[in-house]
Amino acid sequence: SASAVTVVTSDGTSYENATVVGSDPLNDVAYLKINGVSDLAPATLGDSSTVRVGQGVVAIGNALGQYQNTVSSGIISGKGRPVSASDGSSSASETLSDLLQTDAAINPGNSGGPLLNRSGQVIGINTAVAAGAEGIGFAIPINAVKGTLKTVLAGKGVQRAYIGLRYITVTPAVA
C-alpha cells in the first residue's frame, strides 16, 4: 500500500522511480522494479535448503533506519521457526512460518536486507526480531521466494497455486 517507493543502493544512489510489481503477503515480500535502470549487479541467490544450524551468516541492512550498510555476523540458530510479527504500532500481526533463526544482529530497519552465507550468496531475507530479547532474529528462506520471483521476472506478477475447495454440512436432505 505504499504511495511511493525509493530504492537507495549501498553507494548512496537514490532511485525515486521504483514501482511495486508484485507482492507476496504470505512471505511478507514485495518485488520492486527500478524503472530506467539496467546496470545494477544482482545478488547471487543461494539455496536455503542446504542451510545448517551453526552455519556462519552475515546480515546486511539499514539498522534502525539510520545506519546504512550495517553488516553483522552470526550463525544460523534454528530452522523452520514460526513467528507472529507486528510492527509494534498496531494490534495487527501476521504469522510467518518456516523462518531461519539467526543471532546475527537484525534490527528495525534491517528488514528486507539479505542474510548471506559465507560464500556471499543470499540465503534469506531479514524480516523480524524477537521482542524483549537480544540476538534472536528471523529471515525468510530465499527458496520460499524463488518461485514467485520467476513469475514476477516473466511479467506475470505473483502467482500462487491454490486449491479451491468449499464444504457444506452433509445433512440427510443433502445426502
pLDDT in tens, the chain (175 residues): 778 888 888 788 889 888 888 888 777 788 888 988 888 888 999 999 999 999 999 999 887 777 777 888 999 999 989 887 665 555 566 778 889 999 988 877 777 889 999 999 999 999 888 777 778 889 999 998 888 888 888 787 777 666 777 788 888 888 8
pTM metric for this prediction: 0.79
The two most distant CA atoms of the chain are separated, in Å, by 70
Q: For residues 137 and 68, what is the distance between their CA atoms, to the nearest angstrom?
A: 18
Sheet with 29-34, edge to edge strand ranges: 5-8, 14-24, 29-34
